[in-house]
Amino acid sequence: MTRYTSATDTDRAEMLAEIGVGSVEELFKQIPEPVRLGRPLELADGLGENEVFERLVTLAERNADAEHEICFVGAGMYDHYVPAIVDAITQRSEFLTPYTPYQPEVSQGGLQVMFEFQTAMSELTALPVSGAGLYEGPSTVASAGYLAIGATGRSRFVVSRGVHPHSRETLATYAAGYGAELVEVGIEEGHTDAAALADAVDGETAALFLQSPNFLGAVEDVEALGAAAKEHGALLIVACDPMTLGVLKPPGECGADVAVGEGQPLGNRLDFGGPSFGFFCATEEHIRRMPGRIAGETVDADGRRGFVLTLQTREQHIRREKATHNICTAQALNALAAMVHLAWLGRQGYRELGELLVQRTAYARDRLAALDGVELLHEAPVAREFALRVDAPVAEVLDRCADRGIAAGYPLGREYPEYGDGLLVAITERRSKEQIDQLAEALGDAVKELGTRNKQQEVPA
């Protein structure tokens, strides 16, 4: 077995002598007999490094990953290209292996990165304050709810059905704890139903939750929808996709009080869903209610510039039951990855990438909608993902495409039974025109073969 330890028999003997006991066993005597295990763990014996490697390779190769399949699946996590410098930097021991920066004098690296990250996210969302990152998107949405309750003293959430189903579900899970009622507002032609929303938001509402682009890919008119929240003194909480903010009006310019979202598209690999990070930005007034770590600038005893964890009186380790959140270990390394990716994209590249997504998405949408047996689920403007209806069983269509090495999209049925024939297709800069054309072919063939009606027959000869 692999040990990663140093103690030899000699070490052990000498150390025990120093402690003054005869065996390690003696040290374990403080565990009362009845709760001792008294048998070896029923786990396999340890392995050498190359054996573990082979074992993991074998498992990994039983997954159809985006390097071996053309991946049009999105639904919140996207197959963006992670530049090589992201790996090189995040794998540096100096970033990979420290703990949370509790000793700022020897943690300036991590703290400065947090400060830079906060600046970048604040720029992206056009909100003045950003935290250093939370777990991932959906739980970050739930955390925003917790802030809203504290900030408004109210406990009713109005949530658009366009918000990611995972976020809505997680919000509900958390709400069962901190106590809040959820009201959902439906979707009409791709967009949040504005009229229903205006009705739903009232003086008891702590927060209105929107997402743009919403889960069906539609770009929402956040400003217009958010007016109801402003009117009733509810917070406007907007979930957004950080890869679209080079093109879309940022939440801060749409009246959002809080912007949150899934950080994965920024420098984080798919990893079957994690680790990634959630971002959390807000207006100045909420700074002392923000969840999680925040780095701040200051000076040292000699006047040198430096960074520290700040406003720690919000946090669990200082405030305990009065903390604004319970989070401790978060996702610092993932936030670093995002920061490096953003620096690599740069101001121009970030915008260009957003535009590239819009253009290719428009092409793909037109191309697929033109297929027999395929139509748009909605015609609302989209940025990087769009929803289709296919005239054939979606699961089977996806299997057919998979046989041709294409992951064609995300089936909407489980989470939106009303769109049982719905398919969500996502585009990244890795998805070339040729691949989109391949998808069109595969999807077209699949729908033709599996279609419930045969279009040919409909057309009079």
Partner 1 sequence: MTLPTITETPMQADRAKTIFEKSVAGRRAAVLPDAGVPERPLEELIPERLLRSEPPHLPEISEPEIVRHYNRVSRRNFDLDTGFYPLGSCTMKHNPRLNERVAALPGHARLHPAQDPKRAQGALELMWQLQETLAEICGLPHVSLQPSAGSHGELAGLLLTRAYHADRGEQRHQVLTPDTAHGTNPASVTMAGYEVVKVATNERGGVEIDDLRAKASDEVACLMLTNPNTLGLFDENIAEIAEIVHGVGGTLYYDGANLNAIMGHSRPGDMGFDIVHVNLHKSFSQPHGGGGPGGGPIAVSDRIEPFLPRPQVMRRDGTNGAEPLFDLDFERPKSIGRLRGFQGNFGVFVRSYAYILSLGGDGLSEASETAVLNANYLLARLKKGRAGRYLPVAFDRHCMHEFVLSGKPAKTELGVQTLDIAKRLLDFGFHPPTVYFPLLVDEALMVEPTETEPRENLDAFADAIDRILEEAESDPEIAKQAPYTTPVRRLDEVKANRQPVVRQALA
By beta-carbon proximity to ligand PLP, the closer residue of 114 and 163 is: 114
Q: Per CB under 6 A, which of residues 312..371 are in contact with ligand PLP?
A: 328-329
Please report, for residues 138, 247, 360, the alpha-carbon distance to residue 252 in angstroms, rounded to integers and kept in the order given. Answer: 20, 14, 27
Question: Is residue 428 a contact residue for partner 1 (CB under 8 A)?
Answer: no
The first and second tokens of residue 255, run together, are 């009246």
Angle between helices 332-369 and 108-125 (to 10 degrees): 30
Write the interaction track for a second copy spanning residues 57-86; mark x where CB under 8 A is met and - where it is not: x---------x-------------x-xx--
Select 6 or 457, whichever has its Cβ closest to a second copy. 6
Q: Check binding of 8 to a second copy (CB under 8 A).
A: no
Please report whether residue 457 would count as binding a second copy according to CB under 8 A: no
Closest approach of ligand PLP to the CB of residue 306, in Å: 24
Residue 342 binds which one of partner 1, ligand PLP, a second copy, none, with CB within 5 to 8 A depending on kind?
A: partner 1
Q: From the centroid of its chain, how far is CA 357? A: 19
> In b/e form, how buried is each residue of 205-236, taking b as 16+ CB within 10 angstroms?
bbbbbbbbbbbbbbbbbbeebbbbbeebebbb
Q: Which residues contact 116 (CB under 8 A, 6 or more apart)?
A: 339
User: SS3 for 279?
Assistant: strand
Task: Answer yes or no whether residue 98 interacts with a second copy by CB under 8 A.
Answer: no
The answer to the question of residue 392 lying near partner 1 (CB under 8 A) is no
Is the N-terminal amide bond of 242 cis, ω within 30° of 0?
Answer: no
Shortest gap between Cβ of 387 and a second copy (angstroms)?
A: 26
Q: Which is nearer to partner 1, 199 or 399 (CB)?
A: 399
Q: At what angle do helices 332-369 and 433-450 cross, to 10 degrees?
A: 60
Instruction: Please choose which of a second copy, ligand PLP, partner 1, none residue 334 contacts, taking the beta carbon within 5 to 8 angstroms, the exact cut-off set by kind.
Output: partner 1
As measured in angstroms, the least distance from the Cβ of 134 to ligand PLP is: 11
Binder of partner 1 out of 101, 190, 267, 451 (CB under 8 A): 101
Cβ 143 to partner 1 shortest distance, Å:
9
Among 347, 430, 433, 453, binds a second copy (CB under 8 A): 430
Residue 30 Cβ vs a second copy, minimum distance, rounded to whole Å: 35
217-256 residues near partner 1, rule: CB under 8 A? 219, 221, 223, 245-250, 253
Pick 145 or 354: Cβ nearer a second copy: 354
Place of tokens 């021991």: 93
CA dihedral 27, 28, 29, 31 (to 10 degrees): 140
Is 376 among the residues that bind partner 1 (CB under 8 A)?
no
Q: Find how far residue 51's CA is from the centre of its chain.
A: 33
C-alpha closest to that of 306 among 172, 111, 128, 156: 111
User: Strand, helix or coil at 430?
Assistant: coil
Stretch that binds partner 1, among 169-177, 194-202, 228-236, 370-378 (CB under 8 A): 169-177
The conformational region for residue 233 under phi > 0 = left, psi -120 to 50 = alpha, else beta, is left
Instruction: Name the minimum Å distance from CB 287 to a second copy.
Output: 36
What's the min distance (Å) between Cβ of 74 and partner 1? 8
What gap in Å lies between CA 276 and CA 268, rounded to an integer? 6
Size of interface with ligand PLP, in residues (CB under 6 A)? 2
* Distance from C-alpha of 315 to C-alpha of 378, rounded to nearest angstrom: 43
* Alpha-carbon span 111 to 104, nearest angstrom: 7
**For residues 105 and 204, which CB has a smaller minimum distance to partner 1 in the complex?**
105
User: What gap in Å lies between CA 324 and CA 118, rounded to an integer?
Assistant: 19
Secondary structure (3-state) at 130 = strand
282 near partner 1 (CB under 8 A): no
**Residue 261 vs residues 101, 184, 213: alpha-carbon distances, Å:** 24, 19, 11
Q: Judged by CB, which is closer to a second copy: 12, or 430?
A: 430
Kindly list the residues in this chain that would bind ligand PLP in the complex (CB under 6 A).
328-329
Kindly list the residues in this chain that would bind a second copy in the complex (CB under 8 A).
48-50, 53-54, 57, 67, 81, 83-84, 88, 91-93, 429-430
